[in-house]
A and B are shown apart, each in its own frame.
Chain A
Amino acid sequence: MQAEQITAQQAEQPQSELASDPYEYLACDLTRRVLTIRFTHYQKRNALTNDCLAELAAVLEMADGDDNIGAVVLTGGAHCFAAGADLNELASQDAVATWQNPRPQLWQRIDSFSKPLLAAVNGYAFGAGLELVLLCDVVIAAEQTRFGLPEITLGLMPGAGGTQRLSRTVGKSLANQMVLTGMPIDARQACSAGLVSEVTLAALTLERTQQLAVVIASRAPLAVKAAKQALKQVPELPLSQGLKQERQLFSLLAATQDRQEGIDAFFSKRTPKYQGN
């Protein structure tokens, strides 16, 4: 209901409604079909508390149902993407409380966002911050950025996909080294290992990420969604299953208007006008 209200108001004023957002940990900006979500609690180094993750999940769910949004960029500002979980929050929980913590559901809600999610990373992405980066589809980082999973140095370990997704992203040896030593890597190494797709100057990280997001948001929405779905299942399925699913999604798009429009526009050498259907 609330999401619908925001969407309706936004249709009239696509910029202002999201800019004057009511969030405690985030600031949102919608420009050219790209929603930029910025963490704003710098004094706590953008620590990913449950409340912060809950806000992020709520915004992403809203964005998922909003046709004015084609892609989302996550950023933490110039100096820090996110430093990890909130240690005070973590320390206050015993085994039972940890077992009952709603955190895994929050992560799942964020992971189930169906549109492209891009990360513009400056400074550092540590612990939960890196685990959030691992949920993103495209990652752009500044040269000076460092990525790490320091949980082991505190007598714990990654608990939000860090061991699983990092290993699937950068390969076994580097992932093992990072998880077991807790020592970070820099953006160049992250790029050559496949964690990051492009390294930029710090002052251009957000801009470059937004440029890519604008390009993605200009593509046919259903095709983008189907392609993301096909890509996301890669670590889940054996190749034969993945190929089958890919083919099904491919066939599904044959029924869309936008596919026709895309091909027509190509032959008549004009820019396609996608309707999302």
Chain B
Amino acid sequence: MEQTVLYSAEAGVALITLNRPQQLNSFNPEMHQALMASLKQAEADPAVRAIVLIGAGRGFCAGQDLNDRNISADQPMPDLGESIERFYNPLVKKITQLNKPVIAAVNGVAAGAGANLALACDIVIAAQSASFIQAFCKIGLVPDSGGTWILPRLIGPARAKALMLQGNKVSAEQAADWGMIWQCVADDVLASEAMALGQQLATQPTTGLGYIKQALLHSSTNTLEEQLDLERDLQRLAGRTEDYREGVAAFFAKRQPTFKGY
């Protein structure tokens, strides 16, 4: 059977490749399960300290494979909530709660859930020819996979609302200008840049980076008081990591720190 997701781990970085290039890496149940399994594998492997997510072929991910949706008139109305509850929501939760940095290398079109999955990653780098489309409105649906939560937080409600109501295509360059993503790079260097970033992050204090993710994840829903308490608690834990000790020691010894990730 076709392998819908490819997984490899090297030099502290897990490279996860969505691999249904003929279908622009759109989701079917197999790819859902394979992607979740890959994320769990990267999470559980202590040697992995950063994750890069990329698409095979010319697209990043076109969202849901509509061939899997039979909506002919003789069929009962589908329960789309079921597939969201079973597949998409756990994926977004896994990526955002994973205590290692996740980089999305958006190599081509990222549409629908594919766009929102990329935006759920911690650092998004896109190739110049890549684009982001909130395509849901064009078929009568609502942006899912966290899109309505994350997009207004990234680019503000005015732009998010217009994009979601019209389904406009946003170029990688525009996305970078708006702050929707971190960086737009030339097509031919996307993979190498993403891997270099992954390898650099893989040498950093991983546990501390995980705490930063956790703090930022809560910051948009917590009150200031709650967030101050969370910062206190996370700092309490961060201060007990060996990497913190190493970081301070290296600072005073004026040398490069060697972090172990815990």
Write the residues of chain A forming the contact surface with B, with a CB cutoff of 8 angstroms: 200-201, 203-204
Contact = CB atoms under 8 A, between A and B. Distances in A.
9 contacts: A200-B233, A201-B230, A201-B233, A201-B234, A201-B237, A203-B237, A204-B233, A204-B236, A204-B237
A200 B214 CA distance: 13
B222 to A, nearest CB: 12
A114 B46 CA distance: 46
Contacts of A200: 233
A239 B233 CA distance: 39
Contacts of B237: 201, 203-204
A275 B224 CA distance: 41
Contacts of B233: 200-201, 204
Interface string B199-231: 000000000000000000000000000000010
B214 to A, nearest CB: 8
A119 B230 CA distance: 21
B208 to A, nearest CB: 13
Contacts of B234: 201
B183 to A, nearest CB: 32
A204 B236 CA distance: 9
A203 B233 CA distance: 9
Contacts of B230: 201
Given A200-B233, A204-B237, 7 more contacts: A201-B230, A201-B233, A201-B234, A201-B237, A203-B237, A204-B233, A204-B236
Nearest to A208: B233
A216 B226 CA distance: 24
A101 B245 CA distance: 55
A249 to B, nearest CB: 34
Interface string B119-139: 000000000000000000000
Contacts of A203: 237
